[in-house]
Amino acid sequence: MNKVFAAEQLSKTFDPDTSPIHAVKDVSLEIFENEIIVLTGRSGSGKSTLLHLLAGLEKKTSGSIFFKENDYDKLKPNELTCLRRTEMGFVYQFHYLLNELSAQENVSLPLKLNNVNHDRAILASIEILDSLGLGHRIDHKPSELSGGEKQRVAIARSLVHSPSLVILDEPTGDLDTQTSLEVINSLKKFVSDKKSSLLIATHDDNFQKIADRKLMMDSGIIE
Ligand SMILES: Nc1ncnc2c1ncn2[C@@H]1O[C@H](COP(=O)(O)OP(=O)(O)O)[C@@H](O)[C@H]1O
Ligand SMILES: [Mg+2]
């Protein structure tokens, strides 16, 4: 199997000079094509920090990260941004949708940033929203959507450009059991259709069923 991603001895210390918090400690991790990895651990164990480091959204304190043949340390900031835009999808714990844009416009943003033709971007974003059960909400703005609907818009936005790695931070936290199961099935279908990989931090037991590999984080360490 092809390796998509590797982190070696990755660490992150917040506030190193005042009262240091060792949020991630010497984590090594490999992710292969077509793999679903589920990361659990109590609140404060370092899951979000680890996901942000892996996506290059947060600066590591030490260690190395490779995406396919790219070493993060050797990429210029714009190259890392470009890599993230084209090859990765990220679902934040707190959505971060743009309030002034409709669901469809939020979802088509990654395609716009990748210079995809306007009409194709609209079609692809409607299609992915539809597959997540939001076909009837495409013109609504985030303020007009429920927490669960916003979460699904954020998931749609992370998938629309068919990234090879999707990182999801507690993606079903606001969803009822039935909707959560539907979203999980859509994610599983996405992985098999696109040969992508998923790394999911979650407390949702329903993810355990589709996990190829389960990881547990405690006090910054993967056990
Ligand atoms: N920006 C930050 N500055 C200082 N400490 C932080 C910051 N972000 C997270 N932390 C701390 O790092 C630890 C891990 O947090 P986090 O990665 O959010 O855990 P989880 O996602 O598992 O709940 C916690 O002790 C948290 O308070
Ligand atoms: Mg978190």
Q: What pLDDT score was predicted for residue 115?
A: 94
Q: Model confidence at 23, in pLDDT bands (50, 70, 90)?
A: very high
In order of 91, 174, 213, the CA distances from 202 in angstroms are 12, 12, 13
pLDDT beyond 90 at 89: yes
Q: What pLDDT score was predicted for residue 103?
A: 98
Q: What pLDDT score was predicted for residue 86?
A: 94
Distance 169 CA to ligand 2 centre (A): 7
**Nearest ligand, CA of residue 217?**
1
- Of 50 and 16, the one with more pLDDT: 50
pLDDT beyond 90 at 175: no
| Atom 24 in ligand 1: residue holding the nearest Cα | 44
| Atom 11 in ligand 1: residue holding the nearest Cα | 23
Q: What percent of the chain has pLDDT over 90?
A: 89
Which of 42-51, 175-184, 193-202 is the least confident region? 175-184
Q: What pLDDT score was predicted for residue 133?
A: 92
- Of 95 and 187, the one with more pLDDT: 187
Tally of helices (H runs) and strands (E runs) in the chain: 6, 10
Name the residue ranges covered by the structural domains of the chain: 3-222
Report the distance separating Cα 51 and Cα 72, nearest Å: 14
3-state secondary structure of 6: strand
Q: What pLDDT score was predicted for residue 163?
A: 96
Fold (topology level) of 3-222: Rossmann fold (3.40.50)
Q: What is the mean pLDDT of the chain?
A: 94
Q: What pLDDT score was predicted for residue 165?
A: 97
Average pLDDT over residues 96-123: 96
b vs e for 61-99, b when ≥16 Cβ sit within 10 Å of the residue's Cβ?
Answer: bebebbbeeeebeebeeeebeebbbebbbbbbbebebee
DSSP string, 66-134: EETTEEGGGS-HHHHHHHHHHHEEEE-TT----TTS-HHHHHHHHHHHTT--HHHHHHHHHHHHHHTT-
Distance 14 CA to ligand 2 centre (A): 15
Which of 22-26, 37-41, 163-167, 173-177 is the least confident region? 173-177
Distance 62 CA to ligand 1 centre (A): 17
Distance 211 CA to ligand 2 centre (A): 19
pLDDT beyond 90 at 46: yes
* Ligand 1 in reach of 135 Cβ (< 6 A): no
pLDDT beyond 80 at 1: no
- Give the residue, out of 15, 21, 52, 90, with the most ligand 1 atoms within 8 A of its beta carbon, to mutate for a pocket test: 21
